Chain A
């Protein structure tokens, strides 16, 4: 490289006026094997893969709109929390006896911390030159075991969560107008119904009572005998027949528009 006397620059910048690198792509024909240039040959193929991936991604998005539950209500103590799916394994861990209660720190901090820490230190624990997975059985076995544990915990978490209940608890329910001073509402508020079906019939542990589409007689029957599918057990109603009649008529008239 030419230095010092005789050097010419572009204006007063530090860019040299001559001896610049020519704008000619490298020749890869001398490289071993079927090496090819990243630009533009390989990038075009990458774009093809990207395009196919994007189509699948868009189909997924169009077929499944992003979920939105009802607005957050911090006073709702019945709601069963569930994180996004990639945190389910951690969430499941906290349900085991050895990792919850007094041992909460084991499930919440120590085990995830160890996992991340071990992952980060992998290159310093597995220092041999061998790269093929079957030639280094210990690292391979540990990783397979970890992946299996992640899948198992996630699976258990999904299997143990009541997704139907979660859908009911999170559903956006249109608020309806009703007379809180009416006799029907008084009976409702004093019965056990309100515990599961909510202050304004929005549901909770139970379904919403808005737009049931049932007649007063059918509602009275469910209140006493429970539902046919067994989701609601019989025997919740403890008032008089007269109150039941007023209540069931009141509920059958709860419509959102």
Chain B
């Protein structure tokens, strides 16, 4: 049955080459923890992606309750945390996932660095990886404001000031992020929300796609 469905689709769309590219490739011995336990360091990248998927899913569910305006943002998070069924777990996973993804990404970066995997011909993928790192930090920074509690507001105030101290274009960056050169308020919250759920995830998905296409093209780096 499944084979027939596959063949029906394959006849029309010729999906076998795509399937071969995505799934049917060899996993060399030196990255397989089943053969060498020390190869678990090669899991960090995959786990980073795993948490990213969880972040996207839990974030989608959070937006079902979250309201990005200064009157209701905190109240909606409080409600989500204390009243909604499993709301505490979904928010908890998003909260802890944000930290875990940074930890895993950091470990993955160190693994790639110390195994020298960024060397020719993989320079471009290293650069894409650093951009992913920066995007993730941006997601962490913008997401921190959204609950609109004390730590969110005042940490963001400091962050916006730092962004404002960039030479020449600091003021413009500040206004772009906060919506105003002085006030950190309603406009800032909606902008951070938009950046956190639309702009940065879009950038992240593009970068991740490039990261994975590069790996598929070049294969994983050889043993040391």
Contacts and interface: CB of A to CB of B under 8 A. Distances in A.
Interface string A117-159: 0011011101111111100100110010001000000000000
B125 to A, nearest CB: 9
Contacts of A86: 99, 102, 137, 140
Interface in B107-165: 109-110, 113-120, 122-123, 126-127, 130, 133-134, 137, 140-141, 144, 147-155, 157-159, 162, 165
Contacts of B6: 23
Interface string B56-95: 0000000000000010001101100100000011011111
Contact of B224 (A31, A90, A132): A132
Contacts of B54: 57
B14 A15 contact: yes
Given A15-B13, A72-B149, A109 B165 contact: yes
Contacts of B147: 68
A120 B124 CA distance: 10
B129 to A, nearest CB: 9
B33 A71 contact: no
Contact of A91 (B10, B89, B158): B158
Contacts of B157: 81
A35 B99 contact: no
B115 A23 contact: no
A78 B209 CA distance: 45
29 contacts: A17-B11, A23-B6, A34-B29, A36-B32, A37-B26, A37-B27, A38-B25, A43-B23, A49-B33, A53-B50, A57-B51, A58-B93, A61-B92, A62-B89, A64-B96, A69-B150, A69-B152, A74-B153, A74-B184, A81-B154, A82-B155, A86-B137, A105-B167, A122-B126, A123-B119, A123-B127, A136-B116, A139-B113, A143-B113
Nearest to B16: A21
Interface in B1-41: 6-7, 10-14, 16-17, 19-20, 23-30, 32-35, 40
A26 interface: yes
Interface of B: 6-7, 10-14, 16-17, 19-20, 23-30, 32-35, 40, 43, 46-47, 50-51, 54, 70, 74-75, 77-78, 81, 88-89, 91-100, 102, 109-110, 113-120, 122-123, 126-127, 130, 133-134, 137, 140-141, 144, 147-155, 157-159, 162, 165-167, 184-185, 221, 224
Interface in A75-97: 76, 79-87, 90-91, 94
A50 B47 contact: yes
Contact of A123 (B46, B118, B149): B118
Q: What range describes how many residues of A lie at the interface?
A: 35 or more
Nearest to B92: A61
A34 B155 contact: no
Contacts of B29: 33-35
Given A15-B13, A46-B43, 16 more contacts: A28-B26, A35-B26, A38-B27, A42-B32, A46-B46, A61-B96, A62-B89, A65-B88, A66-B92, A66-B96, A68-B81, A86-B102, A86-B140, A120-B126, A123-B120, A133-B115
A240 interface: no
Contact of B78 (A13, A21, A68, A129): A68
B154 A68 contact: no
B116 A131 contact: yes
Q: Which 9 A-B pairs have the closest CB atoms?
A: A131-B116, A81-B154, A66-B95, A72-B153, A123-B123, A69-B149, A39-B23, A61-B92, A71-B74
